[in-house]
Every structure is written in C-alpha cells, then in structure tokens.
Amino acid sequence: MARIAQDFADKVALVTGAGGGIGRAAAELFARGGARVAVVDINAEIGRNTVERIHSAGGEAEFFQVDVAREAEIEAMIHNVIQRFGGLHCAFNNAGISGTPGPFHEMSLDEWNRVITINLTAVFLCMKHEIRHMIGAGGGAIVNTSSGAGMIPAPYLPHYTAAKHGVLGLGKVAAREYARQNIRINAICPGVTDTPMMQGTLAMRPDLEEPMLASVPFGRMGRPEEVAAAAVWLCSDAASFVSGEAMLVDGASVCR
C-alpha cells in the first residue's frame, strides 16, 4: 500500500461507489488521512463492509445507501452527510458500471440509457448538489472518475465511451465556472484496474485478459489503491492550484 500522508484532519470526504474497488480504496485512504468519510453505495452489504474496515483501522466513517441515478436520493445524501458530519469538503464521484459491450448498430436504447444515467447523469447530479453546498461553505474539492475511455474510444462500448468523455466535459465547465468560489474540480482516468468490476468482466470474457494486459506498457493491471491515491491527492490541499485536470492513472496505456 502506498504511504502518502495527505492531511484531511477536520475534513469531511464523500465517496460514491465506496463499496467497490477504487471507491473503497479511496475511502480508506481519506480515513487514514484523518477525514470523516461518507461511504456511499447502492449495495448496503459491501458499503457497510468498507465502513467496518475503516473503523477497524481506527478511522471514522458512516454508510449512506444511495442510488446515484436518483436526484432526490442525492439531495437527501448531501443533507444527511452535512447533518451527520457538519460539512462536506471533498467529494469523489466514482460510482459507475461497465456496460454490456456490443456492436454500435445493435445497441438498444435501454442499454444506452442505463450506462449514460449511472456513468454521466449521476455525476452531473452529484456535482450539482455538492457545488450548491460548497458555494455557501466557501469552497471544496471534487474529483470525478472518468476512464482511459474518456480520452480514447473503447470499441464496442459507445455508451461507456460517450459517458466517460462527458464526465471530462462536465468537470472542465464546472472548474471554470466555480474557480472564484474556491471550488476545484478534477477527474481521474483509470486504465485497466483490478477491481470487482474488472473481475466481473473477465469472468464473462476470459479471452479479454491477454489483450488487455498487452495494452498496458507496465504489463499488469493497476491496483485500486494506486488509482485512489491520485484521486485523494487531487482532493488534498497539495493540489490547491490544480483544477480542470484529467489525470491518467493507467501505466502509460493511453499516452502516445
């Protein structure tokens, strides 16, 4: 595990998708830095498990069960986090789904809508309600999870590619709109990362593992904590002049 000592004492950090690979690693890293952590996930079992892990390590966290596709739940989540912890300083909008791959011309509107709703619209909704609070509170830091597919196309995943490109656009526009309100907005673009999402994909399509690894110059998948470290750094005061950035964390996969 990387040892970075970002100081989040007196800070409140919210992480969506915190029951899963990258989100859980980020929640644990925030907690280790002294933050009180709102662990948000649609799945209560894995979300509560993240909270237990943080408590066992001596950190402070609480679980909030939320479907990020629903605006009313997001609005209530922000309200409840502020009630519980007294503020919200850092938000990592990370929940996402992989989408079912298929030829562009055969993709159903339902499948398109499912992936766009969770991977793009939900990020817009989380940002909207986080920013509303941060404006009044004098600032904050937001990081959204995009993907290498936010920069280059992932063939057979037009919905995922469009959503992840869209996440970068949302972040850039908000970074410029809210700079004077002291709100920084950045994105991380993970490459192939060893998480439950990736393991699920490989269980369905074991044939993908070899070409996937071949596409990574490091020759291995990223670890969730390696990706989380970038997101947590972007939320920290060490990144105080970084906003509108899209940071690749992909073992040099996308760069040319």
Ligand X SMILES: NC(=O)c1ccc[n+]([C@@H]2O[C@H](COP(=O)([O-])OP(=O)(O)OC[C@H]3O[C@@H](n4cnc5c(N)ncnc54)[C@H](O)[C@@H]3O)[C@@H](O)[C@H]2O)c1
Catalytically active residues are 160
Burial of 122 per CB tally in 10 Å (0-12, 13-18, 19+): buried
Nearer to ligand X, 7 or 52 (CB): 52
How far apart (Å, rounded) are the C-alpha atoms in residues 102 and 197? 17
Among the listed residues 33, 59, 96, 251, the single contact to ligand X using CB under 6 A: 96
Binding status of residue 243 toward ligand X by CB under 6 A: no
**Contact status, residue 14 vs residue 91, Cβ threshold 8 Å:** yes
**What is the C-alpha to C-alpha distance for residues 215 and 234, in angstroms, rounded to an integer?**
26
- 253 makes contact with ligand X (CB under 6 A): no
User: Cα-Cα-Cα-Cα dihedral of 193, 94, 33, 195, to 10°?
Assistant: -30
Tell whether residue 247 is a contact of ligand X (CB under 6 A): no
CB of 185 to ligand X, least distance (A): 16
Please list, in sequence order, all residues whose beta carbon lies within 8 angstroms of the beta carbon of residue 36, skipping any fewer than 6 positions away. 11, 12, 13, 60, 61, 85
Q: Which is nearer to ligand X, 139 or 196 (CB)?
A: 196
**118 near ligand X (CB under 6 A):** yes
Q: Which residue's CB atom is positioned nearest to ligand X?
A: 20
Which among 253, 251, 250, 15 is positioned nearest to 143, based on CA atoms?
A: 15
Which listed residue (26, 29, 41, 54) binds ligand X by CB under 6 A?
41
Note whether 101 binds ligand X by CB under 6 A. Answer: no
Yes or no: say if 39 and 27 are a contact pair by the CB < 8 Å rule.
yes
- 99 binds ligand X, rule: CB under 6 A: no
Part of the chain binding ligand X (CB under 6 A), chosen from 3-11, 14-22, 82-90, 104-112: 14-22
Residue from 11, 12, 13, 19 binding ligand X (CB under 6 A)? 19
- Where does this chain bind ligand X (CB under 6 A)? 16-17, 19-23, 41-43, 46, 66-69, 94-97, 118, 145, 147, 190, 192-193, 195-198
